[in-house]
Amino acid sequence: MSVAAILGSAFSDSLPGALTLEPETVETEWGDQTLHRVAGTDRSAYVLFRHGLPHRRLPNQINYRAQAAALKQIGCGALLVTSSVGVLDPEVPINRPLLVDDLLMLENRLPDGSACTMFTDPSPAHGHLVIDDSLFATALTAQVQGLADAADASIADAVTFAYVQGPRSKTAAENRALPRLGAQVNSMTLGPEVVLANELEIPCAGLVVGHKYSIPDRDPPEQEALSATLDRSREEQERIVTAFLRDAEPVEFPNTIYRFKADE
């Protein structure tokens, strides 16, 4: 089995670390998808640039089903999904890597309005995604933490992530409401990717970095000089992603796809 990482805007014009990537086109029923195979690893590893390389797609233009299907076809057994996020909790630092431990996605829909599912038509493979552990697999999340520690990259906290569709940013009213529902960070991606990957029984971990505070009606907490924190966060995120692609191992899928038995 292989491992893979989905990279977003933070890697819009450069590659993580010193990795050598070789593009491969994967054909799926949802359309072709470009993955980049990492050269020189002991087992297969891939990078998926969600917005394209260079960055050209808005969040609502991403073909999430094609991406998930391509990852399934290359036998992904461990997926690290990254995102740049707005921070809603003043206790959560910005410009520091954060693990994600839960998802708030009030409407289970893709940007085109359709249900966020791979099971669009009746088939023997369809079923209900039953969350026994978490959408962010506990075992894989612990593995990412260990890889980060070994790479001397500091992960600040574990956070609850809210998915809010783009391409517009959130209103002040929305940013007031989300923390009351338990959200600490939010962005326009990551949510659909994690849901669809879980439906295909791909274990996921989430790694995000806050690039701004989205806290209405109050002054944001004090922070270090922006240039210093941006440089540090990018460097630490690169170290974690690179360590994951080189050294992470597939884990058992921790949830269940409940399928009804066919009539005999």
Per the model's pLDDT, the better-predicted residue between 86 and 227 turns out to be: 86
Taking only the tens place, the pLDDT of each residue in 216-225 is 876 665 655 5
**Longest CA pairwise span in the chain (Å):** 67
Dihedral of CA 242/64/95/185: which sign?
negative
The CATH number of the domain holding residue 27 is 3.40.50.1580
Q: Is residue 90 part of a domain?
A: yes
Percent of the chain with pLDDT over 90: 75
Q: Is residue 263 part of a domain?
A: no
Domain that holds residue 17: 2-258
pTM comes to 0.93
Average pLDDT of the chain, as a whole number: 91
Using the predicted structure, report yes or no on whether residue 246 has a pLDDT greater than 70.
yes
Q: Is residue 14 part of a domain?
A: yes
Q: Is residue 88 part of a domain?
A: yes
Q: Is residue 52 part of a domain?
A: yes
Using the predicted structure, report yes or no on whether residue 264 has a pLDDT greater than 50.
no
Report the distance separating Cα 140 and Cα 205, nearest Å: 6
User: CA separation (Å) from 152 to 148, 149, 155, 220, 238?
Assistant: 6, 5, 10, 28, 11
Using the predicted structure, report yes or no on whether residue 230 has a pLDDT greater than 80.
no
Taking only the tens place, the pLDDT of each residue in 84-105 is 999 999 999 988 999 999 999 9
Q: Is residue 12 part of a domain?
A: yes
Nearest to 4 by CA among 46, 52, 39: 46
Report the distance separating Cα 107 and Cα 195, nearest Å: 12
Q: Is residue 170 part of a domain?
A: yes
Using the predicted structure, report yes or no on whether residue 263 has a pLDDT greater than 60.
no
Yes or no: say if 215 and 72 are a contact pair by the CB < 8 Å rule.
no
User: How many structural domains compose the chain?
Assistant: 1
Which amino acid is residue 120, in one-letter code? T
Taking only the tens place, the pLDDT of each residue in 118-170 is 999 999 999 999 999 999 999 999 999 999 999 999 898 899 999 999 899 99
CA-atom Rg of the chain in angstroms: 18
* Res. 81 pLDDT band, cuts 50 70 90: very high
- pLDDT at 220 (0 to 100): 60
Report the distance separating Cα 156 and Cα 209, nearest Å: 10
Report the distance separating Cα 73 and Cα 23, nearest Å: 15
* Res. 15 pLDDT band, cuts 50 70 90: low
* Res. 232 pLDDT band, cuts 50 70 90: low
Span 32-53, mean pLDDT? 94
Q: Is residue 264 part of a domain?
A: no
